[in-house]
Structure 1
């Protein structure tokens, strides 16, 4: 890990050291400042460390008496390393939430919504579950697996094309001896990790108090097992069926009529009559599209406004995080710069709501 990757951890150590120094616990403050310097050297940590050392020993707590000479048994116990991992506590409600998700059969059941749920309903359900199941907050066994499951479900069901294919082809859970469930139904696996999706909904700086960095990795492939020669044909049969279904589904799933961004497939620019939202269509749009243009443009405007709201929320989260950091470290210049951070998506959204 690079020094830049340790920056957030170093800042947490500085915050702990500041609290300890204010409480008169200079030894604890020095310990965390030294750790912050090892992770990511900063001027703030150096200056505070100098102040702590200049203040001398801790002023809080009872005075220590000089220790007596340790016995041979004491020396042996001190030298013996301990490798006990502290048990992290969790509530019965957290354990029940994890158990419910891990026993679900399909994506709708995982999020607790019906197949008629709107995009907004799905995102609302994901946010509620993500705050309950994030491993930095929920330490129950299986929380990381449940967190990945709701992330994968939300990523598939909020993508219009993937959701349509999922509804057509259905869900087929895979059971292996190594895991309780795998939520990848016939190739329906999100391109994003659980943490990346969480940051998209709550902002890249979202974190839980006291939560350390959580690493999410994709499932490792199972090691190949020795099989009999004729078993290869049997194993290829499901693959051939999936390929055939994929080819057949292509005939029934039509491409989107429009795109909010120009491309070689959607080169013709247009804009909606009501809100003047720009969108792009194919060259044969005027002859091939037989639906209601008014309904199409209403759907385009709704998608555009929803996208602006999400982008606006991310921009506000980032600005608030920078303001909080600057205020916490007492950096007036950084605090002023953070307050001046623009939120262009919010400005566009405000224009449409006037």
Structure 2
């Protein structure tokens, strides 16, 4: 009995097989059609598989002794041309939408001007996996990938987004040559598209892909600035530096540390939850406050840190599971589901003690 959840993976296999069949790569087409049939049998997959085998190019039959001129043309592209890498119609349409139809950064990412930071990051992740040139070989994929990277970098920066919205009437330029810059004047990102992608997914998002050469850091020409305006902009920074220097005279060092170091070498443990913490060597003589209140504060800080770490571990696991499902990698999907969350386990054990 076919599993309904495998239908999407079977559809992807069929699209790859169809592209391979069009390119004349019948062996690859048959391999992906068989995989699609194992995942979720369909009539269209059976029909295409039958056509390949009836032509005598599949693995189950011998090739005909005298292939037709049409077969030769399909199977053997001219030696003077470089064979193109396969891509689906859906991938090509995604590239065309960004290169020819989008007028601003919001349209590029497919969000409204009221979108939250979380909405923008979610849409960027979806588009980045679809347009990354290691997965999308359609013409213009590299330029489209740069476009969504620059859009996400600007719209997730509160200050740049505010400036962009105030000057958002400047359209994103569209040209037909390959060196198109996908940003409005003054709103290019300080990060390359590849660097931004690695910030969201890590450097191992495509473990099989080679190094990409399109993501180079752009060198930006210095813009002339008004001297007085520069001084005014630096004033808040100078005030913050001055306040931080002054605060050092009034704020004493912490009484404890949750991690051992040269200042806090003496280990201790809270009475209630048995949380380990570390104090200075002169703690017993210098500390005059309530030990019970101190340990309550230690346990509260420890639990808050565990919650944050637990959330990060869950987000990472969910991201890996989602990527594995998206790429149809069953082994990676199984590994992602088995990823542990040690901080969550510690937090659960603490709640059991309560």
TM-score range, shorter chain: 0.3 to 0.5
Q: Which has the higher contact order (CA 8 A, sep 6+)?
A: 1
Q: Which is higher, the Rg of structure 1 or of structure 2?
A: 2
Q: What is the TM-score when the length of structure 2 is the normalising length?
A: 0.43
Q: What is the TM-score when the length of structure 1 is the normalising length?
A: 0.43
